[in-house]
Structure 1
Amino acid sequence: MSCARDLLEIVDGRVQTRNVRPEESQMAQLITAHVQVRPEATAVQDEHGASLTWQALDTRVNRWIDLLRGYDLEPHSRVAVLAGNRTPALEILLACLHSGLIVVPINVQLTPPEVGHVLRDCGCQVVLADEQRAATAREAVGLASIRPRLAAVFGHRPLAGLEAVEPLLEVARADEPASQSSGAVMLYTGGSTGHPKGVVNRLFIPSAPIGHIEAMLARMRRALDIPTEGTALLVGPWYHAAPFMFSLLPWLSGCRLLVHQRFDAARTLHTIDAEQVATTHLVPTHLVRLLRLPPEIRSNFRGTSLHRVWHGGGPCPVEVKRQMIDWWGPVLWEYYGATEGGLAAVIDPQSWLQRPGSVGRAVPPDGFLVISPDRTPVPAGGEGTIYLRRDPERDFEYHNAPEQTAAAHLGPGVFTYGDTGHLDEDGYLYLTGRVGDSIISGGVNIYPSEVEGILQEHPAVRDAVVFGITDDEYGQQAVAFVELDPAVPQDGRTTEILDQFCRRRLAGYKVPRAYRFVRAIPRESTGKTRRHLLREQWLSGTASPSRRA
């Protein structure tokens, strides 16, 4: 690098900038140092039996690069991957990051038409899928009316009309590829109320020198105190921004990466102790389920290896987090961020205990603005839409969606993730909900996240979602979908018990006027609620209330 860079570091619980010399951020390859120092150490292993040393990972990535180059892909070409948490998906990721290509991870919960939209929208030249999603990928390619240069499935056998990728890799070159350059990642977000949107941000710069990625990783590693040894655990979907980054960072810093297909509370506890996990990423739903484990399982957990546990993805109920800190100690660090702009705020456990409910202060040099519906700034303590202000060179846009890009911005470098909340006098941010989710009942605002947090504190409740329905008298009334814990006995008075529980903790106008008990709250694996499905149930009459006050 030819100029000094600003790195970030934690000072007294805050993220600060530090100027470093150019030579500190130089490195030719992303995993070369680990291959040279610990070639036979395990780099990554998943639940499908795949386990690679750093040397073997390097060889696999080299083969992927050679394979992809064999299709004469132009710089910035898109490589779409429809796969769960699998080692081959991570190999493809590294191959793209070393070869100027843009990897497009696709949510495995999407339907074939939704996947087809992503394939068509991103203009992909390569489509790769795991065995479980081969048929979906094949159908989606047809629906998208595209002709990718390569459409392949993991493994040794063709499946659903897709070519088998392993025979292709076996004849690809394993030596170090020449002319490596920075690739990028384009994640798709949303889709719960419309088509998924591709996010183009400035975190990765396609075709930049490969050292750009290492410099970026160094800044984030220093900012977030990412461990450079030990074990990182991936339990969230790799195709979502937070699990992706909080796994990629420790992995490329030198940690062994354990890859679980999905989160399981008891298994996660066992894995942390048995594998001496140093860092992982969780969402509030995970924390609730950990706290609901039987006492004998919780009491056996030691957690002595944990260095830092990151959590975000939505507001965490105050009592849930307080109980987790009491149990796990001061290792839970919360962040506020989104796919569009990445990390926006951080709060350490000590600061959180002083300001329960906050998600932290803006990461310098960024700042927050709270904007009213008439698009004017709101003073400290006032509610409004949260906007992040940063250097326009680090702005984002939605791919092929200029109107939606404009709707998220007040101006260049001033944009919103779509959340509402307020700032205190010291600049600490508190979230209250999502734009459009607020319930106005009798002229008074009700914030669903507050009511949901109270409901989730009740031992009989595993999960809950609150939203507003039209009411002739009050304009709107709050209603709740509730997922009960099957391990907790019910006596037929659950509705009355929950109503009394809420009334002891909430003002009367905030208490849900109707409850609907469901087998499971529909959520993404990141914890995001699929609210549109619940609204559709209610409006269609398939979710009639169990009580109306």
Structure 2
Amino acid sequence: MQHPRHHAAANPDRIACLCTATGAQMTYADLESAANRGAHLLRSMGLRRGDVIAVMLDNEAAVFAIAWAAERAGLYLTSVSTKLSIADAAYILGDCGAQVLVVSDRLTEMATQIAGLCPGVTLYTVSAWQKACADRPETPIPDESPGADMLYSSGTTGRPKGIKPALPQGALGEETALMRMGAALYGMDGAMVYLSTSPLYHAAPLRWAMTVQRFGGTVLIMPRFDAETALALIERHRVTHGTWVPTHFVRLLKLPEEVRKRYDLSSQRAAIHAGAPCPVSVKHAMIDWWGPIIEEYYSGTEMCGITALSSAQWLERPGSVGPAVIGTIRILDDEGCECPAGQVGNIYFADGPGFEYHNDPAKTEAAHNAHGWATMGDIGHVDKDGFLFLTDRKNFMIISGGVNIYPQEIENVLITHPSVCDVAVIGVPDEELGETVLAVVQPAAGVKGDDRLAETLRLYARNGLGGVKTPKHFEFRDDPLREPTGKLLKAKLIAEFKARGVAAGG
């Protein structure tokens, strides 16, 4: 059994987390004390096993103090993005049934408005939470039991939904699926130094960071991602493990060669990426640079199944996201029949962890078939050896003149152009064809988004994809096109252009 408590007893001065921007750090002894005090405070407010506490926090040490307090009190932890509007945050608070909300100090004004829309929610800033915990016992609460997270999807269609697993049974510290995966595939152990590159309010960053602390490793928290800063941190702290998204890789690769060569990255044992499909050319370049330590997995907040593969396996099957390591892959057609190897269909997982969409039995039912197999809404195929290849999300497929076009394929080509920082491809209404292809492009720094760039990218796409898949329209924007986890903000773009009725740009 492994748990932060065990490491606090065996290695109390070991650093559990370090904020790289400020140097603030928390030892395992500190974490154990803060988590116990927090659990006592939660009990004093009447929260019992199965209740919900919500947090809206920047990347700071309080994330872990509160998360581990909730975990040992048997609660669900709902982590809310600090980027949401007041209305959207209030919706999540009301939907999840949170009784307590803890926010970063800088969010006090916004949080007060959110709490005002959610009667019955007790609001704390981090400072107020710490003050309230100060006189609570450092010893464990008498009725400890393991909790879980209930995190919300990003709402690719409609309102975000809480993804609710069953609460774990048994004692604290029992091995989790991510621990088994981390140890077996990535060599995770108590000696690791882990670089957390993304916001901890998202599912994968939070879950992996807490998994690192189950092992007794050190979590380095970046307040926000910066490519050269990440390289400097790897060298300075002798980072062994890190989690990344393909956008991070693109930004790293676009650093000047002299910057890329400036840092000693030899301490790394596993650079783990997920969150979005990685263009083949980008991954080849990362393996050439960092060596065969680039590890990939595919899953979702639902975590009803996971696939994974190493650099060596990927080099044999470029573009694959690997065989299943949790659950069993099933590819089904739209009638629910299993597809043969090589045929594109809906991706389901059998025998994986169970989940439900909170307060939405219809959506829960729609995500499962008659056998109880679950889908996250993606489409793809498996090869004869069971390796999965993603095609795209079913909701994002473009049908133009009766031809199915998958935006991901187009994005993977355009992102490699040196004038492109990022790109999202969507379908927009067309009277003759039904839909045509629009590329929304964030130009690289110093590059002007104009008709000349549009024509350059149109020719670039045609050379790589042929005429049918080449975007007919381009729109240029300076604002980021992705969430910090690497997921494109496609749902918002689709809604925007659907409302316009026509494409903009060249």
Q: 1:61 aligns with which of 20, 35, 39?
A: 35
Q: Select between 446-455 and 484-493 the one with higher mean Cα deviation.
A: 484-493
Q: Tell me if 1:483 matches 2:447.
A: no
- Tell me which amino acid in the other structure corresponds to 1:243: P
Contact 1:226 1:249 in 2 (8 A): no
Q: 2:377 aligns with which of 418, 428, 440?
A: 418
Deviations 1:224-257 (A, max 9, x none): 3323213111121212221122222222211111
Q: Give how far 1:545 is off.
A: 3.2
Q: Which residue of 2 aligns with 1:52?
A: 26
1:446-525 pair list within 5 angstroms: 446-487=405-446, 493-525=452-484
- Residues 369, 84 of structure 1: alpha-carbon distance in 2 compared, 3 angstrom cutoff: same
Q: 1:445 aligns with which of 404, 407, 411?
A: 404
Contact 1:421 1:429 in 2 (8 A): yes
Q: Which residue of 2 aligns with 1:401?
A: 360
Q: Tell me if 1:318 matches 2:277.
A: no
Q: Which residue of 2 aligns with 1:168?
A: 132
Q: Give how far 1:258 is off.
A: 1.0
- TM-score, normalised to structure 2, is 0.94
- Tell me which amino acid in the other structure corresponds to 1:344: I
Q: Which consecutive aligned stretches of 4+ in structure 1 deviate over 6 angstroms post-superposition?
A: 489-492
Q: Tell me if 1:153 matches 2:125.
A: yes
Q: Tell me if 1:283 matches 2:245.
A: yes
2: CA distance between counterparts of 1:524 and 1:336? 17
1: CA distance between counterparts of 2:470 and 2:269? 39
Q: 2:208 aligns with which of 208, 230, 246?
A: 246
Q: 1:354 aligns with which of 316, 322, 329?
A: 316
1:86-235 pair list within 5 angstroms: 86-144=60-118, 146-148=119-121, 150-155=122-127, 164-202=128-166, 204-205=167-168, 208-212=170-174, 214=175, 216=177, 218-224=179-185, 225-235=187-197
- Tell me which amino acid in the other structure corresponds to 1:453: N
Q: 2:9 aligns with which of 30, 36, 42?
A: 36
2: CA distance between counterparts of 1:544 and 1:244? 38
Q: Which residue of 2 aligns with 1:7?
A: none
Q: Which residue of 2 aligns with 1:77?
A: 51
Q: Tell me if 1:266 matches 2:228.
A: yes
- TM-score, normalised to structure 1, is 0.87
Contact 2:304 2:354 in 1 (8 A): no
Contact 1:60 1:91 in 2 (8 A): yes
- Residues 56, 211 of structure 1: alpha-carbon distance in 2 compared, 3 angstrom cutoff: closer
Contact 2:73 2:145 in 1 (8 A): yes
Q: Which residue of 2 aligns with 1:526?
A: 485
2: CA distance between counterparts of 1:256 and 1:454? 37
- Residues 39, 277 of structure 1: alpha-carbon distance in 2 compared, 3 angstrom cutoff: same
1: CA distance between counterparts of 2:23 and 2:222? 11
- Residues 215, 500 of structure 1: alpha-carbon distance in 2 compared, 3 angstrom cutoff: closer
1: CA distance between counterparts of 2:347 and 2:376? 7
Q: Give how far 1:447 is off.
A: 0.7
- Residues 374, 494 of structure 1: alpha-carbon distance in 2 compared, 3 angstrom cutoff: same
Q: Which residue of 1 aligns with 2:338?
A: 377
1:324-343 pair list within 5 angstroms: 324-341=286-303, 343=305
Q: Give how far 1:49 is off.
A: 4.7
Q: Give how far 1:300 is off.
A: 0.9
Q: Helix, strand or coil for the counterpart of 1:470?
A: strand
1: CA distance between counterparts of 2:7 and 2:340? 49
Deviations 1:187-241 (A, max 9, x none): 1113243221111124x51x632243x4556534433332321311112121222
Contact 1:112 1:136 in 2 (8 A): yes
2: CA distance between counterparts of 1:293 and 1:106? 32
- Residues 493, 515 of structure 1: alpha-carbon distance in 2 compared, 3 angstrom cutoff: same
Contact 2:86 2:110 in 1 (8 A): yes
Ranges in structure 1 where 5+ consecutive residues have no aligned partner: 1-25, 156-163
Q: Helix, strand or coil for the counterpart of 1:416?
A: strand
2: CA distance between counterparts of 1:539 and 1:217? 39
- Tell me which amino acid in the other structure corresponds to 1:63: R
Q: Give how far 1:48 is off.
A: 4.5
- Residues 475, 143 of structure 1: alpha-carbon distance in 2 compared, 3 angstrom cutoff: same
2: CA distance between counterparts of 1:350 and 1:516? 38
2: CA distance between counterparts of 1:34 and 1:64? 18
Q: RMSD of aligned C-alpha atoms?
A: 2.1
Q: Give how far 1:470 is off.
A: 2.1
Ranges in structure 2 where 5+ consecutive residues have no aligned partner: none
- Residues 444, 367 of structure 1: alpha-carbon distance in 2 compared, 3 angstrom cutoff: same
- Tell me which amino acid in the other structure corresponds to 1:126: V
